[in-house]
Structure 1
Amino acid sequence: MTSEYQGRPECRDFVNAGATQGQTPSDVIFAADVTFSCITNPDAAKELVFGNCGVLAEIKNSKGYVEMTGIDAETSRCIGEAIVSRGGRYLEAQIQGSKLQAELGTLVILAAGDHALYNDCQSCFTAMGKSSFFIGDVGNASMMNLIIQLISGVTIAGLAEGMALADRVGLSQNDVVEILELTQLNCPWILEKGKSMAEGGFPTHIPLAHIQKDLKLALLMADRMEQSLPLTAATNELFKHAKRLGYGGHDASAVYIRARF
């Protein structure tokens, strides 16, 4: 049986497909052997677990909980420790990929925590993605995800500045993308972002606000380790400004607007 909780209109699609809708997170935990959670940010993830009628109210008897929200390692460990203390099993499973990849079932899943639960979830991960990796203890997958997101954000920012400079000096941005395709920078993801910047449409594949959230979490992680990340810090400022301009819900390539002006 498939159960789900809450509140967004998209949930109706799952109910229409045969899922049972719970009124609270604890309703879903009660009805399911393994629950997958994927929401907006670390604070929302903790509220779902620790809040009134939350996950902890029904976690017991080896029930599994898989956290797929993009969170930091400290939040993941906090959630994991609470679930394990109630007799549950915990796995963090961080998602790498875009909206289109989610629709096509070609995501990459980075997992850490309970290895037996990871094995139990393989059929689900196979449906969601093309690959899954187990990276050891709770927190490792969250940290790895933030590192990949950091690299993605800095790359998009560099591409945006290059495209902005091309426009300023009178070069064709379409030519930039075409030439990139002929070089060692020929990467479908980079080309997709470049085309979005050249066309100015920014259809949402990875929301700008999500990348900025992960840049912020990466900077916090680096600060705790006294690791300098000057490029990431500058990139975060670009994304923050673009978000303030109202582009948080657009694709991450919309950071070009900030780079251009």
Structure 2
Amino acid sequence: MPNTNPRSYDATPSRKVAFLGLGVMGYPMAGHLALAGHEVTVYNRTAAKSAAWCEEFAASKAPRHAATPREAAAGADFVFCCVGNDDDLRSVTLGADGAFAGMKAGAVFVDHTTASAEVARELYAAAQAAGLHFVDAPVSGGQAGAQNGQLTVMCGGDAAAFDAARPVALAFSRAFTLLGASGAGQLAKMVNQICIAGLVQGLSEAVAFGQNAGLDMKQVLEVIGKGAAQSWQMDNRGKTMVEDHFDFGFAVDWMRKDLGLVLDEARRNGSRVPVTALVDQFYADVQRMGGNRWDTSSLIKRLK
């Protein structure tokens, strides 16, 4: 529920917006746009999810759901999107029923999917050719960040489109930052995932080591979390790792998708990412254990 932790919204003029993709991230993100007073039309492949969203936010400014991305995008000032992968993104933007076919001239498409930098540049060019704007804007902060409206958003694209979208996107963001030209947002998200992969593996080894040594690991984590070892992963996943609790958060399947993007890009730009490649294979082990939908902190399961 987006309003589980009520937040105040900046006084941004109401805009006509669309949101494509009502998954665990998109559903609350679209909700924050509605609660901020924007006129929101939603689209989801499963129409029942769109109808449920409209019912939940019926008290906001005339929420609507559309049968196609094109219909959802018609007349919108901004079209936000959060789907699964490159192919999903192409399916909601391109073609006769895609959003680009329905958007008015000068409208801005803001993509929150974690996808490749290549598809971001492809769609940026397609948008430009159609008289539209495209910003790649993957997010960090997980499901809790989406629900609380506290996502960190990494953007690539033109400054004018970014500046126009930022006040609206702050309905669900605590930081919305332009990092460079088209594709820069996706590349920054890859940096983010590289950092997380190494951190989670290190935390997994530390917790397993401490447990094998007979330590009270909840107490240990509380102590070392006040020093140089502190991290978001330790603060938010350490205790649940000790408790062997993984049925929440960012799924292993999605992390492997993201790390696949990292490894593909590393081959293109000549980067050496040996730890990331190794952790990707460790996640493959977790998948073979049946942990496809476990939280990414389930890396520790390999060590028990």
Take 1:29 and 1:210, find their aligned partners in 2: how far apart are those partners? 27
Paired AA for residue 42 in structure 2: E
Question: Which region of structure 1 is more displaced relative to structure 2, 140-149 or 113-122?
Answer: 113-122
Paired AA for residue 228 in structure 1: R
Take 1:33 and 1:185, find their aligned partners in 2: how far apart are those partners? 44
**Shift of residue 224, structure 1, vs aligned partner:** 0.8
User: Tell me, which stretches of 5 or more residues in structure 1 are unaligned?
Assistant: none
Paired AA for residue 98 in structure 1: G
Equivalent residues of 1:60, 1:86 under 8 A apart? no
Question: Which region of structure 1 is more displaced relative to structure 2, 36-45 or 170-179?
Answer: 170-179
Take 1:33 and 1:88, find their aligned partners in 2: how far apart are those partners? 10
Task: Give the 3 Å change call, closer, same or farther, for CA 110–180 of structure 1 in structure 2.
Answer: same
3-state SS in 2 of match to 1:184:
coil
Aligned 1:59-74 pairs, distance under 5 A: 59-74=103-118
Task: Give the 3 Å change call, closer, same or farther, for CA 136–28 of structure 1 in structure 2.
Answer: same
**Shift of residue 150, structure 1, vs aligned partner:** 1.1
**Does residue 14 of the first structure (1) align with residue 53 of the second (2)?**
yes
* Cα shift readout 1:10-52 (whole Å, capped 9, x = no counterpart): 4334312242111111111214121001011122112222245
**Does residue 77 of the first structure (1) align with residue 77 of the second (2)?**
no
**Shift of residue 229, structure 1, vs aligned partner:** 0.7
Question: Which region of structure 1 is more displaced relative to structure 2, 76-85 or 14-23?
Answer: 14-23
Take 2:275 and 2:236, find their aligned partners in 1: how far apart are those partners? 23
* Cα shift readout 1:106-148 (whole Å, capped 9, x = no counterpart): 1111112132221222222221111111112001111011101
Equivalent residues of 2:252, 2:295 under 8 A apart? yes
User: Tell me, which stretches of 5 or more residues in structure 2 are unaligned?
Assistant: 1-38
What residue in structure 2 maps to residue 26 of structure 1? 70
Aligned 1:237-252 pairs, distance under 5 A: 237-252=281-296
* Cα shift readout 1:185-242 (whole Å, capped 9, x = no counterpart): 2234322211111011124222222222211111111111121110000011111221
What residue in structure 1 maps to residue 217 of structure 2? 173
Take 1:6 and 1:120, find their aligned partners in 2: how far apart are those partners? 25
Q: TM-score, normalised by structure 2?
A: 0.80
What residue in structure 2 maps to residue 5 of structure 1? 43
Take 1:83 and 1:191, find their aligned partners in 2: how far apart are those partners? 41
Which has a greater percent of helix? 1
What residue in structure 2 maps to residue 104 of structure 1? 148
Q: What is the total number of aligned residue pairs between the two structures?
A: 260
Equivalent residues of 1:59, 1:87 under 8 A apart? no
**Does residue 146 of the first structure (1) align with residue 196 of the second (2)?**
no
What residue in structure 1 maps to residue 167 of structure 2? 123
3-state SS in 1 of match to 2:174:
strand
3-state SS in 2 of match to 1:109:
strand
3-state SS in 2 of match to 1:133:
strand
What residue in structure 2 maps to residue 196 of structure 1? 240
Q: TM-score, normalised by structure 1?
A: 0.92
Computed over aligned residues only, the root mean square deviation of the Cα atoms, in angstroms, reads: 1.8
What residue in structure 2 maps to residue 254 of structure 1? 298
Take 1:37 and 1:2, find their aligned partners in 2: how far apart are those partners? 12
